[in-house]
Amino acid sequence: MDGATTTLDLAVIRGDGIGPELVDSALAVLDAVAQVDGFSVAVHDEPGGAAVYRELGEPVREGALDRLRAADAVIKGPVGLPDVRRPDGTEGGLLGGVLRVGLDTYANVRPVRLLPGVDGPTRHGAGEIDYVIVRENTEGLYLSRGNGVATPHAASDQMLITRFGTERVVRHAFELARSRSGAPSDGVRRVTCVDKSNVLRSFALFRAVFDEVAAEFPDVAADHLYADAAAHALVAHPERFDVLVMENFLGDILSDLGAGTVGGLGMCGSGNIGADAAYFEPIHGSAPGIAGQDLANPLSQLLSVVMLLDHVGRPGSARRVGAAVTAALADGAVRIGPTGSPAGGTRAVTAAVVERIAG
Q: For 162-215, write each residue's pLDDT tens digit.
A: 999 999 999 999 999 999 999 999 999 999 999 999 999 999 999 999 999 999
CA atoms within 13 A on the CB side of 66: 3
Give the pLDDT score at 143.
86
In this predicted structure, the answer to whether residue 1 has a pLDDT above a threshold of 70 is no
The domain boundary residue, chosen from 261, 289, 306: 261
Give the pLDDT score at 339.
80
Maximal CA-CA distance, the chain: 62
Question: What is the Cα–Cα distance from 346 to 298, expressed in whole angstroms?
Answer: 6
Dihedrals φ, ψ of 10, to 5°?
Answer: -115, 120
Q: Is residue 152 part of a domain?
A: no
**What digits encode the pLDDT tens for the residues 251-264?**
999 999 999 999 99
Question: What is the Cα–Cα distance from 240 to 51, expressed in whole angstroms?
Answer: 43
**What digits encode the pLDDT tens for the residues 102-143?**
999 999 999 999 999 998 899 999 999 999 999 999 999 988
Classify the C-alpha dihedral 210-213-215-219 as positive or negative. Answer: negative
The domain boundary residue, chosen from 204, 229, 261: 261
Question: Residue type for 38, please?
Answer: G
Report the share of the chain in percent with pLDDT over 70.
99
Give the pLDDT score at 326.
97
Q: At 12, is the secondary structure helix, strand, or coil?
A: strand
Report the share of the chain in percent with pLDDT over 90.
90
The per-residue pLDDT of the chain, averaged, comes to: 95
In this predicted structure, the answer to whether residue 306 has a pLDDT above a threshold of 90 is yes
Give the pLDDT score at 19.
97
**C-alpha dihedral (304, 309, 311, 312), degrees to nearest 10:** 140
Cα–Cα separations (whole angstroms), residue 119 to 14, 116, 122, 232, 261: 30, 8, 9, 20, 9
Same domain, 252 and 290: no
Q: Which of 192-201, 292-301, 330-339 has the lowest mean pLDDT?
A: 330-339
Question: What is the Cα–Cα distance from 322 to 304, expressed in whole angstroms?
Answer: 10
What band does 97 get if pLDDT is binned at 50, 70 and 90? confident
The domain boundary residue, chosen from 218, 236, 261: 261
Q: Of 250, 251, 312, 273, give the one whose Cα is nearest residue 104.
A: 273
Q: Is residue 111 part of a domain?
A: no
What band does 298 get if pLDDT is binned at 50, 70 and 90? very high
Question: What is the Cα–Cα distance from 272 to 309, expressed in whole angstroms?
Answer: 13
Measure the CA angle with vertex 181, ends 180 and 185; round to 5°.
130
- Residue 195 sits in a domain whose CATH number is 3.40.718.10
Q: What positions carry a catalytic annotation?
A: 142, 196, 228, 252, 256
**What digits encode the pLDDT tens for the residues 15-43?**
999 999 999 999 999 999 999 999 999 99
Same domain, 191 and 314: no
Residue 342 DSSP one-character state: B
In this predicted structure, the answer to whether residue 146 has a pLDDT above a threshold of 90 is no
Read off the pLDDT of each residue in 222-231 and give the average, rounded to a whole number: 98
Query: How many Cβ atoms are within 10 Å of 38's Cβ, its own excluded?
Result: 10
Read off the pLDDT of each residue in 41-65 and give the average, rounded to a whole number: 96
The domain containing residue 67 runs over which residues? 1-101+272-359
Same domain, 228 and 162: yes
The bridge status of strand 269-273 relative to strand 107-113 is antiparallel
Measure the CA angle with vertex 201, ends 195 and 202; round to 5°.
60
Contact 156, 210 (CB under 8 A): no
In this predicted structure, the answer to whether residue 76 has a pLDDT above a threshold of 70 is yes
Residue 341 DSSP one-character state: P
Dump strand ranges (E) for 185-314.
190-195, 221-226, 243-246, 269-273, 278-282
Q: Is residue 106 part of a domain?
A: no
Question: What is the Cα–Cα distance from 28 to 318, expressed in whole angstroms?
Answer: 14
User: What's the number of domains the chain is made of?
Assistant: 2
Residue 290 DSSP one-character state: G
Say if pTM beats, i.e. exceeds, 0.85. Answer: yes
Q: At 173, is the secondary structure helix, strand, or coil?
A: helix
Same domain, 250 and 284: no
Give the pLDDT score at 3.
59
Cα–Cα separations (whole angstroms), residue 233 to 100, 180, 228, 254: 29, 21, 9, 11
